[in-house]
Structure 1
Amino acid sequence: MPKYLIERRMPGAGKMSAEELRGASQTSNEVLANMQKDGKNVQWVESYVTDDAIHCVYLAPDAEAVRDHARTAGFPADSVNQIRATISPSTAE
C-alpha cells in the first residue's frame, strides 16, 4: 500500500501538552477504526511534532483517503505527498 507524508501546519504544535497529544491520537484512532469498518484501509504509522506542525506518515490506498481521514478528524492536511523512496546513511554503502 502506498505511504504518504502529511504536513499539518498547527502553530504552537510543539507546545501541546501530553494530554492534548493523547487526545489528538485518540481522535485519529477512532476515525481510523470507523474507516476500517467502512472498508477504507488507512493506517497511521507515526507522527513527528515540530514547533508549528505535525508531520505524519500514513499507509493508504490513495491521497484522497488520507484527506478524508483529516477532514473527518478535524485535522489540517496542508500537504499530502506520496513517499516514493526511503533513504538513510546506509543507502550510500
Structure 2
Amino acid sequence: MPTFIIEREIAGADRLSADELKEISAKSNEVVAGLGVPYKWLTSFVAGDKIYCVHEAESAEIIKRHAREGGFPANKVTEIAAFIGPQTAGA
C-alpha cells in the first residue's frame, strides 16, 4: 500500500496541550475505523505551525477523505518514493 506524508498547517501546533493532541488522535482513529478501506496511520511529527503525518492508504484521495471527515487540514499530500536513514549507507 502506498505511503504518504501529509502536511497540516495548524497555527500554534507546537503549543497544543497533551489533552488537545490526545483529542486529535482519538478523532483520527475514529475516522480511520469508519473509512471502510485499508488505512494505517504510522506516525506524526509536530513542528512549529505544522503537523507532518505519515499514513498508508490506497490513494491520496483517501488521505484527503480522512482529513475532511476528521475536520483536519491536509494542505499538502505527497506519496513517499523511498525511505532512507543511516542504515541506507551500509546497504
Kindly indicate whether residue 81 of structure 2 is the aligned counterpart of residue 90 of structure 1.
Answer: no
Give the gaps of 5 or more residues in structure 1. Answer: none
Q: Where in structure 1 do 4 or more consecutive aligned residues deviate above 6 Å?
A: none
Give the gaps of 5 or more residues in structure 2. Answer: none
TM norm structure 2: 0.96
TM norm structure 1: 0.94
Deviations 1:36-63 (A, max 9, x none): xx3x111111100011000000000010
**1: CA distance between counterparts of 2:66 and 2:85?**
29
Question: Aligned residues: percent identity?
Answer: 46
**2: CA distance between counterparts of 1:85 and 1:17?**
32
Root-mean-square deviation (CA, aligned residues, Å) is 0.7
Deviation at residue 92 of structure 1 after TM alignment? 1.8
